[in-house]
Amino acid sequence: MDLKEIYKKRKEIINGHMNELYTLAGMTSKNDAEVFTIREKICNDCPLKINNTCNTNLWIHPTTMETAKMGKKGFVRGCGCRLSAKQKSKYSKCPAGFWGDEFSSK
């Protein structure tokens, strides 16, 4: 991710890191903690997860869960984010559409 992209996503990044700290300090609401736990489980089950990162060297088909080492039609590339923070950002979404929008007002 280049600096321009980081600047555009600064709200997401800061929110994720702050909520990560709030969670560690036990200052997260029960509802938020439940959403963060569900997101974490989804990422833990995803084949793109390597340690605490969404692997940018792999692509995934969101329906079939098939992975590829190069882009193909219908496949989405791993985002490269540090997942323990991204999962806790109320403004972030999984690029493959596995989670996101839980906090948007409808």
Interstrand relation of 67-68 and 49-50 (parallel, antiparallel or unpaired)? unpaired
Mean of the per-residue pLDDT values for the chain? Answer: 94
**Helix (H/G/I), strand (E/B), else coil: 83:** helix
Looking at residues 43-58, what average pLDDT do you find? 97
Half-sphere exposure (Cβ direction) of 12: Cα atoms closer than 13 Å = 17
Average pLDDT in the 25-52 region?
97
pLDDT of residue 23 exceeding 70, the answer is: yes
What does the pLDDT look like over 72-104, one tens digit per residue?
A: 999 999 999 999 999 999 999 999 999 999 998
Q: What is the average per-residue pLDDT within 23-48?
A: 97
pLDDT for 74 equals 97
Specify the pTM. 0.90
* C-alpha span between 23 and 46 (Å, rounded): 23
